[in-house]
């Protein structure tokens, strides 16, 4: 039986994407809107930007992944938010430009959609172990 613990951290890339998206929206507001609409659009932009940052900072996040591999089975346990989800089924896993997308089913009804950027992993070895686990899991 092999157990691999994959520790995760917050993504700096995700924060940069959020900031770039809102910077582009701010550029559109300054360049394309007339003076009458400018103030209301700017106030909505500020409220949305603050709300998005608060949501990003306070939302439940995936803290760690435990990969359990025995001779006959492979299991994934997720520490998501403040609780553990055991025996998680990975419905879909896609790797796009180094970013992992996992669609997981925890319980009968609960589904999680996770984006794992490269910088979420503490080391390249842990990232490699997760990718290896997912590839071997898909081949069965």
Q: What mean pLDDT do residues 18-39 have?
A: 78
139 has a pLDDT exceeding 70: no
Give Cβ neighbours of residue 15 (< 8 Å, ≥ 6 apart).
56
How many Cβ atoms sit within 10 Å of the Cβ of residue 34? 7
Q: What is the pLDDT of residues 93-123, one digit of tens each?
A: 888 888 888 888 887 778 888 888 888 888 8
Beta bridge partners of residue 112, listed in sequence order: 104
Residue 92 to residue 90: CA distance in whole angstroms: 6
């Amino acid at each position: 039986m092999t157990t691999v613990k994959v520790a995760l951290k917050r993504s700096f890339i995700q924060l940069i994407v959020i900031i770039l998206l809102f910077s582009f929206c701010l550029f559109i507001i300054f360049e394309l809107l007339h003076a009458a609409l400018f103030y209301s659009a700017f106030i909505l932009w500020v409220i949305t930007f603050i709300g998005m940052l608060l949501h990003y900072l306070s939302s439940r996040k995936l803290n760690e992944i435990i990969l359990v591999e025995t001779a006959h089975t492979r299991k994934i346990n997720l520490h998501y938010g403040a609780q553990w989800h055991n025996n998680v089924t990975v419905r879909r896993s896609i790797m796009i430009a180094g970013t992992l997308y996992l669609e997981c089913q925890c319980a009968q009804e609960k589904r999680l959609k996770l984006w794992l950027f490269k910088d979420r992993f503490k080391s390249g070895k842990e990232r490699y172990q997760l990718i290896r686990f997912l590839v071997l899991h898909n081949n069965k």
